[in-house]
Structure 1
Amino acid sequence: MKTGLRMNRRELLATVSVSLAGVAGCLNGEDAGPFGESPDNGTAADDDGEAPGGNAVQWTYQTSGSIRNQPTLQDGIVYLSGGTNERAKSNKEHVRPERSENVYALTADAGAEQWQYEAPAGVTSSPIVRDGVFVVTGWSAGTHGIEQQLVRLDDGSETWTTEEHDRYLHLLDSSDGAVYLGTSDDEYGIQGEELFAIRASDGDQYWSTETGDTTDATINGDTLYSVAGGRRTTAFAVNDGDERWHRDMRPGTDDVRVFDDALYLISEQENENGNYPVVAVSASEGSERWRFSVPVDEPFVPTGAVASGDAVYITEYGGWLFGVDRADGSENWRYSADSDTRDPPVVVDDMVYLASKNGGVHAVDGTTGDREWKRTVPGQVRIVAGNQQGVIVRGGKEEGMQHLRAYAPDGTEQWSLSHPEHLTRPAVDGTRAIVGTRSGYVAALAEQ
């Protein structure tokens, strides 16, 4: 039995890049869902699809197709991609979606449509909204993208498009008048792909540089931090794309995050004790500051690392949560969730939230490591958002249903939703959530 657990832990790191390749290649950057299932890549709405219902639902809006990507909520407007239109239809077999899709802008308070853009192909990304609305359009052949391009929209009208790429094109981030994109294919690795910057005003290219398959990146100051092939973290200068440093380690967060002047990365190389350490790295130079790994019953395999205040909070595969001194990486306390922990923690002020495989949602005092409360959600649970108003969690599919629940900081349930279809990752404002369904509904969820 111990051998099986040991293999599972070691295989966790070995399979991270493979699983990410599936997300990039098969889903073309679409939201694989915090629910652990891959959504239907088609666009036709299910005839028997039903609108989300219950006391948590404030309003619903129905598109004419499927919603596959996370909505974007900004300044009281919900932006989302999905539905279908008659502008174009793929003329090859096994290409998805079958028909071209739309981009929608809805009011967040009532779900009233403000505008709708009919794209000439599928819409493969969640919108980025920053001095314009940016989306990627194109088709997916399963192993590569077809005719994928970046589009800028203003009040629902197309302002410009970039040249087309027969690669998967990933909308990474936008800042200071530029939009950043990465490419990928099904041979997920650390070379052979492209990272480039596009001028937001006219769609012209600033620069491009060769890198690996890049599906995730973030801008912090004058640096773009990206992850190639799921296992190489690189810092690029935003003005010209020059590489500043790289580490063959992946971030300890679901997406790339910089905490003040540091990143917390997970090594895929065992140390002398057979453990896989968390490594604190200077954001500006890439130099190592400290490493953290401690003896547990099996090899130490971290699953997340998030910093807040003077501490770094680290989750470990076997269900451990560690409070670590941010200055030197020394252990302050540890907490056991009594079940495997697969995801990074979510930290809000001095509260640390984590989810365990057996369905437990734990709230832990960030100073002492003491449990504040624990709740259970059906299915394998994940935390999808947390802020000062509370935390939103999901339960995996159980008895044909998927579950979303919102808890106040004291553990009081504020609302819950159970639905039989795939749900996108929600856009969140406080404990209010906007979510899409496979049969094309958008629903706003909140305490009534």
Structure 2
Amino acid sequence: MTEHTAPAAASPVPSRALRFAAIALCAVAVSGCSTVRGWFGNSEKADAKALSEPAKLTDITPSVTVTRLWRTSAGKGEGRLGVRQGPVVADGRVYVAAIKGGVRALDLQSGASIWRHESDLRLSGGPGVGDGLVVVGSLDGDVLALDAATGEQRWTAKVTNEVIAAPTIGQGLVLVRSNDGRVTAFDIASGERRWFWVRELPSLTVRGNDAPVLGPGFVFVGNDDGTLAALALADGRTLWEQAVAQPDGRTELERMADVDGTPVLDEAVLFASSYRHRTMALEGPSGRPLWVSEHGGSNRPALSPHRVVVTDANGTVWALDKFSGTAAWQQPALARRNLSAAVVQGDYAVVGDLDGYLHWLRLDDGEFAARERAGRDPIKGAPVVADGVLVVQTVDGDVSAWRLNQ
């Protein structure tokens, strides 16, 4: 077993809000009430409320037609747990899980049920699939491995904390990231633990994390302290570490720099994005930065041949040049709508929002091309695209598939 820990985060200092409050009280005492009357009147309150509410959707003129192929339910969804359950697609099948409802395999084109594995476990993050296995974790630290063809149980295991990320499967291992900063590697055939790696968590982090990503002999892990680590797949030792964003600031809130979205590996280049509005491209084997952009968020990036698309915490969608990191466009019209990670479908970037809407944006200029509603509940898990079909899951457990009509 290999264990690595990072230095503990610095102790927080008092918030600047205390100083602001003191200044405001001094202003009232010196100037008198008559000079400050109306500062927080109805118009100002209305403006403040408008700035905190999700942006209202405006009518668009669709330039592409989107058709819903099917819709079904995975079971009782995550609700407000913040575990970002999402589907996974492999070999023409969609695999989904729910807090209550077990695991289901569906046909990608029709949505027809292929098998269903009932379970009393509170299954949380979405399933992982690979090498004939479907693996999912639970809110109680259970790991359940099923036969991808039949849904029959292969093995079970246990980790030290809740699992809210989809497991990663490949090269003879199942890698499970638990919410205490630990990555555990299990033998793919037996479920026996091979190694674990630990990263100490900051005092305050964004709720949720995502799966590690595999490279040849590597596993890449985004961490809550803003770093990206490359581990040796054979034994879990750290090969390199790179800060995507520095957790600077006077308060714990200001220092939040989570790399929560799964890094994306494109040939030998790794792309990762941080809650601290930063996205980085790195050489996978060495960790050497290739470029850095001051735009990004805690969701995973999406790649097209020429673009890296990221969503930030403010609800802005950014398209970055894939080879330089330069911003090609931004789309701010979805401000404060709690966007999901983006995914690329054809010539469009697609994001989900807090009201269950899917938005298709043109990759060349960021203009809206289409909008459809997948359900009445938020979309927090990343949509996926396979064989030209987009599949998405809402927090209520609704699963639907969509195709572009060119």
Query: Is the shorter-chain TM-score for this pair beyond 0.5, marking a shared fold?
Result: yes
Counterpart secondary structure, 1:121 = coil
Opposite residue 158 of structure 2, the aligned amino acid is: E
TM-aligned CA deviation for residue 391 of structure 1: 1.4
TM-aligned CA deviation for residue 135 of structure 1: 2.4
Judged with a 3 Å threshold, the aligned counterparts in structure 2 of structure 1 residues 405 and 195 are, in CA distance, closer, same or farther, namely closer
Opposite residue 155 of structure 1, the aligned amino acid is: A
Aligned to 1:74: 90
Opposite residue 349 of structure 1, the aligned amino acid is: P
Aligned to 1:245: 240
- Say whether the 8 Å CA contact 1:421–1:437 is kept in structure 2: yes
Q: State the alpha-carbon separation in 2 of the partners of residues 281 and 195 from structure 1.
A: 22
1:350 aligns with 2:345: no
Aligned to 1:256: 263
Q: State the alpha-carbon separation in 2 of the partners of residues 209 and 79 from structure 1.
A: 28
- Say whether the 8 Å CA contact 1:406–1:431 is kept in structure 2: no
1:62 aligns with 2:73: yes
Opposite residue 146 of structure 2, the aligned amino acid is: R
TM-aligned CA deviation for residue 106 of structure 1: 0.8
TM-aligned CA deviation for residue 160 of structure 1: 2.5
Q: What is the aligned counterpart of 2:343 among 385, 388, 398? A: 385
1:432 aligns with 2:389: yes
Q: What is the aligned counterpart of 1:199 among 187, 190, 193? A: 187
Aligned to 2:11: none
Judged with a 3 Å threshold, the aligned counterparts in structure 2 of structure 1 residues 342 and 104 are, in CA distance, closer, same or farther, namely closer
Aligned to 1:153: 147
Judged with a 3 Å threshold, the aligned counterparts in structure 2 of structure 1 residues 313 and 350 are, in CA distance, closer, same or farther, namely farther
Aligned to 2:7: none
Counterpart secondary structure, 1:119 = coil
Q: What is the aligned counterpart of 1:417 among 373, 383, 394? A: 373
Q: State the alpha-carbon separation in 2 of the partners of residues 370 and 438 from structure 1.
A: 31
- Say whether the 8 Å CA contact 2:343–2:382 is kept in structure 1: no
Judged with a 3 Å threshold, the aligned counterparts in structure 2 of structure 1 residues 376 and 382 are, in CA distance, closer, same or farther, namely farther
Q: State the alpha-carbon separation in 2 of the partners of residues 238 and 107 from structure 1.
A: 32
- Say whether the 8 Å CA contact 1:315–1:345 is kept in structure 2: no
Deviations, residues 119-149 of structure 1 (Å, cap 9, x unaligned):
23121231112122332344x3xxxxx3522
Judged with a 3 Å threshold, the aligned counterparts in structure 2 of structure 1 residues 342 and 281 are, in CA distance, closer, same or farther, namely closer
TM-aligned CA deviation for residue 77 of structure 1: 1.1
- Say whether the 8 Å CA contact 2:134–2:147 is kept in structure 1: yes
What pairs up with 1:85-124 in 2 under 5 angstroms? Answer: 100-124=100-124
Larger relative strand fraction: 1
Aligned residues: 315
TM-aligned CA deviation for residue 255 of structure 1: 2.2
Counterpart secondary structure, 1:391 = strand
What pairs up with 1:46-445 in 2 under 5 angstroms? Answer: 56-66=67-77, 69-82=85-98, 100-138=100-138, 140=139, 146=140, 148-169=142-163, 170-185=165-180, 194-212=182-200, 216-247=211-242, 249=244, 254-258=261-265, 260-261=267-268, 263=270, 283-286=284-287, 312=291, 314-316=293-295, 346-351=302-307, 353=309, 376-377=333-334, 380=337, 384-394=342-352, 396-397=353-354, 401-409=355-363, 411=367, 413-417=369-373, 419-423=375-379, 424-429=381-386, 432-445=389-402
Counterpart secondary structure, 2:342 = strand
Counterpart secondary structure, 1:184 = coil
Q: State the alpha-carbon separation in 2 of the partners of residues 266 and 364 from structure 1.
A: 12
Q: State the alpha-carbon separation in 2 of the partners of residues 113 and 154 from structure 1.
A: 13
Which TM-score applies when normalising by structure 1?
A: 0.56
- Say whether the 8 Å CA contact 2:264–2:300 is kept in structure 1: no
Judged with a 3 Å threshold, the aligned counterparts in structure 2 of structure 1 residues 128 and 367 are, in CA distance, closer, same or farther, namely closer
- Say whether the 8 Å CA contact 1:365–1:372 is kept in structure 2: no
Judged with a 3 Å threshold, the aligned counterparts in structure 2 of structure 1 residues 163 and 175 are, in CA distance, closer, same or farther, namely closer
Q: Which runs of 5+ in 2 are unaligned?
A: 1-15, 18-52, 55-64, 79-83, 202-208, 246-257
Opposite residue 72 of structure 2, the aligned amino acid is: Y
Judged with a 3 Å threshold, the aligned counterparts in structure 2 of structure 1 residues 363 and 181 are, in CA distance, closer, same or farther, namely closer
Deviations, residues 274-295 of structure 1 (Å, cap 9, x unaligned):
xx99877654345xx56xxxxx
Q: What percentage of aligned pairs have identical amino acids?
A: 18
TM-aligned CA deviation for residue 116 of structure 1: 0.3
TM-aligned CA deviation for residue 73 of structure 1: 1.7
Judged with a 3 Å threshold, the aligned counterparts in structure 2 of structure 1 residues 252 and 205 are, in CA distance, closer, same or farther, namely closer
TM-aligned CA deviation for residue 258 of structure 1: 4.3
Counterpart secondary structure, 1:446 = strand
Q: State the alpha-carbon separation in 2 of the partners of residues 282 and 393 from structure 1.
A: 27
Counterpart secondary structure, 2:222 = strand
- Say whether the 8 Å CA contact 2:129–2:148 is kept in structure 1: no
Judged with a 3 Å threshold, the aligned counterparts in structure 2 of structure 1 residues 382 and 236 are, in CA distance, closer, same or farther, namely closer
Deviations, residues 242-269 of structure 1 (Å, cap 9, x unaligned):
2223345558783224455555678999
Q: State the alpha-carbon separation in 2 of the partners of residues 179 and 127 from structure 1.
A: 12
Opposite residue 75 of structure 1, the aligned amino acid is: D
Counterpart secondary structure, 1:162 = strand
RMSD: 4.4
- Say whether the 8 Å CA contact 2:273–2:299 is kept in structure 1: no
